[in-house]
Amino acid sequence: MFRDALLDIWQLSLAPGLPAYLPWSQAWACYRRLAAYPWLFAEPTAAAVVAAEVLPISDMAAFQRDVRTTWLLDAADLYLSRRHSLDWWPKYVSVEGRWPRARAFVVVTSHYGTCLWLLRALHRAGHRHRFLSGRFERADFGHRGGLYRYGARRLAEVERIGGAPVAYRPGVRQALLDTLARGVSVVGLIDMPPRLAPRGQHPVTLLDRPASLPDGLLTLAHDAGVPIVPCWVTIDYTTGHRHAVIGEALSPQPANCVLAELAAILSRLIREQPAAWMFWQEWRDWQRDAAALHTSGTFSGRLSDSALAADTPAPGTQPL
C-alpha cells in the first residue's frame, strides 16, 4: 500500500510535472530518459504486451518504452495545461482540420494519444463542450488515493477547458440532449468494451479481430439532430510533437455503418502507433465479450437502452 502510494506520487506527479517547467526540447529529453525505466507505468506497459498477438512488434523493448512515454506525456499534458491560460497553445502541438460550423456536435474520440489537446482545440475555436465520463467515485480506487486525486485533477481541468460540468454515466441522456440544444457540444470516447458500456454494443472488426462498439454517442447525436466529429491526437516519439486531427463531420446514422467506419479509423491509428493506444488492458476480454455479438449478428440492447442510460453503473475508466 505504501509502495503504491509512493509510486503514484512519482509517476503521476513528480515525473510528469517537474520536467514540464523546462523548455520543451529539454523536457522531452527527460521524458524519454524516464520512459526507459521499466518500473514507470509498469501495469499498462505489461498489459500492452498483448499487442504482439495482433500486430508485428519488431522491437518489444522500444515498444514498451513508447508505451511508457505515452502515459507519461498524458500526465505531463495535464500539468502543462493547468499551468497556463485557456488561450495558451504551444509550438509543439499542431492541428489539422476544422470543427464544423454547426452550433453543436458530438465529438467522438478514443483512448488513443494525449487527447487533452482536442479539448483545448475546441476551446480555441470557440466551442464550449461537455465531457461524458464513466462513473468516478473514491470507493472504486481502494487504497490508491493518489490515483483518485490525479483523476479528479484531470476532470477539473476538463471542466475548466470546456466551460461545462463533466457528465457522469449512467442516466445522463436527457441532460446531454439539453446540453446540445443549448449549443454546447458533447465529447465522448467510442472505444468502450461491453464491460464498461454493456448496452447498445454493435459487432465491428477491430484490428481484423471481432470486437464491438457502443451506439450511445451516435444515438445521442441522431436524436439531437447534430453530426458527429471523429478526432484523435498522434505522437511523434522522436520529438514529442503532438498532432491533433479533426476528422470530417459524419451523419450518426445508420449506426452499423458509422461504427464500422469508426472502427476502421481506430484500427488504422493503432496499426500506425500501437504504443499510443491506452486501452490494451481491455483487449482480450473485449474480444471474448464481443464474440456472442458476432455469432448472433445482433447488438446488445435496443437503441433506447444505450450506454448513456444504462441501469447498472459500470466501473469508471481513466478520464480523457
Per-residue pLDDT tens over the stretch 137-159: 999 898 899 999 999 999 999 99
Strands 106-109 and 228-235 turn out to be parallel
Q: Which three cell numbers stand for residue 156?
A: 477539473
pLDDT of residue 161: 98
Which residue, among 189, 188, 213, 182, has the nearest Cα to 290 in the 3D structure? 213
pLDDT of residue 111: 97
- Count CB neighbours of 84 within 10 A: 12
Q: Which three cell numbers stand for residue 87?
A: 488561450
How do the pLDDT tens digits run along the chain, 320 residues long?
778 889 999 999 999 999 999 999 999 999 999 999 999 999 999 999 999 999 999 999 999 999 999 999 999 999 999 999 999 999 999 999 999 998 999 999 999 999 999 999 999 999 999 999 988 999 989 889 999 999 999 999 999 999 999 999 888 999 999 999 999 999 999 999 999 998 899 999 999 999 999 999 999 999 999 999 999 999 999 999 999 999 999 999 999 999 999 999 999 999 999 999 999 999 999 999 998 888 876 665 543 334 454 433 333 344 45
Which residue, among 39, 260, 75, 220, has the nearest Cα to 149 in the 3D structure? 75
Q: Is 239 left (phi over 0), alpha (psi -120 to 50) or beta?
A: alpha
The sign one gets for the Cα dihedral 118, 121, 123, 129 is negative
Measured between alpha carbons, how far apart are the two ends of the chain, in Å?
A: 26
pLDDT of residue 2: 79
- Alpha-carbon distance of 277 to 266, in angstroms, equals 9
- Alpha-carbon distance of 51 to 66, in angstroms, equals 13
SS (H, E, C) 18-46: CHHHCCHHHHHHHHHHHCCCCCCCHHHHH
Per-residue pLDDT tens over the stretch 306-318: 445 443 333 334 4
- Looking at every residue in the chain, the average pLDDT score rounds to 92
SS (H, E, C) the chain: CHHHHHHHHHHHHHHHHCHHHCCHHHHHHHHHHHCCCCCCCHHHHHHHHHHHHCCCCCCHHHHHHHHHHHHHHHHHHHHHHHCCCCCCCCCCEEEECCCCCCCCCEEEECCECCCHHHHHHHHHCCCCEEEEECCCCHHHHCCCHHHHHHHHHHHHHHHHHHCCCCEECCCCHHHHHHHHHCCCEEEEECCCCCCCCCCCEEEEEECCEEEEEECHHHHHHHHHCCCEEEEEEEECCCCCCEEEEECCCECCCCHHHHHHHHHHHHHHHHHHCHHHECCHHHHHHHHHHHHHHHHHCCCECCHHHCHHHCCCCCCCCCCC
Q: Is residue 131 within 8 Å of residue 119, measured between CB atoms?
A: yes
| pTM for the full predicted model | 0.91
